[in-house]
A and B are shown apart, each in its own frame.
Chain A
Amino acid sequence: MIQFGPAHVIYILEAVRWTVVLSLVAFAGGAVLGLLLALARVSRSILLRAFSAAYIQTVQGTPLLILLFLAYFGLSLLGYRLAPLVAAGLALTLYVGAFLGEIWRGCIQAVPRTQWEASDCLGLNRFQQYAYIILPQAIRIATPPTVGFMVQVVKNTSLASVIGFVELTRAGQIVNNSTFQPLMVFILVAALYFAICYPLSVASRALERKLNVAR
């Protein structure tokens, strides 16, 4: 049995960057998809609304773990050999997109109806209404829950470990397999997640308070 030592700690610490990279990929991809889904959910086309709603329902009803397996094993059988980072990034993008789409739909709809009417009376077209009136207000409302959801994104990247992507959790497993010090290893891993997530949680709450005061 190998003693749990500084080298292991450094190995785990270095894996943090892959958790961060995967989180950023998932968030960026999810944000693009989420925005499209949110706009589709409030669009005037019933087809777009239905498609978007069905997508969100389906993905939110599926465990992320299953999405990861579908992306990793499934797509490779379909002929695409995906590196773990790509597969994990894809699955997380699909997953994060569904949740952000739903959160942002709520934020767009939280902009008072009268803002649409007022901008309509000024002669703005639909695109201008979104660009100049609705979205700027929706973004203010959306910031606190979005920052809060980033916590979920970071935590969810831990599941990429199951398809062999060596991020924080996988690094912990590897170290545990050689040292058999699970309590120490996984508490260290948990502490590192906490160090990333807790500031985001605090920021989300602070932003929400600020928004409530401003309104």
Chain B
Amino acid sequence: MAYKFNFSFLADRWPAFLEGAWLTVQLTVTSIALGFLVGTICAVLRVYGNGLTRRIVGAYVEIIRNTPLLVQMFIVYFGIASLGVKLSAEVSAVIALVINAGAYTTEIMRAGIESISKTQLEAADCLGLSRFDTIVHVVLLPAMERVYPALSSQFVLLMLASSVTSQISAEELTAVANVIQSDTYRSFEVYLIVAALYISLSFVYRFLFTLTGMILFVRRRKLGTAL
């Protein structure tokens, strides 16, 4: 038997796919930005904090990295609701994604921060820079530059993983696909299209990360050498 492909549903359903993709972009860009912020702060605390903060951040990273995003999502969405606080699916999704991205960012940025030699800190110290200024101006940018490839890969993975937010009924790309396939009985075609959209999104994200890197790391853009 031969299966006949039928993409005719696209004629009137294509705007829904785009809307879903747009929500995926909104959810993930927000989560990546906030997750990066959380992770960077945690990485600084992990390296330069006192014994207690280091242990707390370490526990956070291990717990998140060793449990599935889907279960984290359920805990945030259903768990918080059971405590009487009703959050929308989108807000829950962003919270869970930020917590998740934050843990991975912490681990990646920690490696970057630890690769900055102690002598750089001494030089900044001798110039009278405060601890805060030293971390911001002398440590973080070069640290980020060193781990930037790992960081952008992780964020692309996060964008793809955001498809699980469909399971708490956030109306993003995968959720849209689930609806359309149950309306049209064209599951295979629908998921092929969605797969193609995700692949396109991951290329777009990679391109944007490369562009951001070129804007952020002026020295590398000009000289093209590693730190």
Contact = CB atoms under 8 A, between A and B. Distances in A.
Contacts of B202: 60-61
17 contacts: A62-B160, A63-B162, A64-B160, A66-B191, A66-B194, A73-B181, A155-B68, A156-B68, A158-B70, A169-B74, A182-B78, A182-B81, A182-B82, A183-B83, A193-B67, A194-B63, A197-B67
Interface stretch (B41-49, B124-132, B163-171): B163-171
B75 A187 contact: yes
A182 B75 contact: yes
Nearest to A76: B187
A201 B66 contact: yes
B191 A183 contact: no
Interface of A: 58, 60-67, 69-70, 73-75, 77-79, 151, 155-156, 158-159, 161-162, 169, 172-173, 176, 180-183, 186-187, 189-190, 193-194, 197-198, 201
Interface of B: 1, 3, 62-63, 65-72, 74-75, 78-79, 81-83, 160-164, 166-167, 174, 177-178, 181, 187-188, 191-192, 194-195, 198-199, 202-203
The prevalent SS among residues of B at the interface is: helix
Q: Is the interface of A mostly helix, strand, loop or mixed?
A: helix
Contact of A158 (B71, B191, B194, B203): B71
Nearest to B185: A77
Contacts of A63: 160-164, 174, 198
A201 B78 contact: no
Contacts of B65: 151, 197, 201
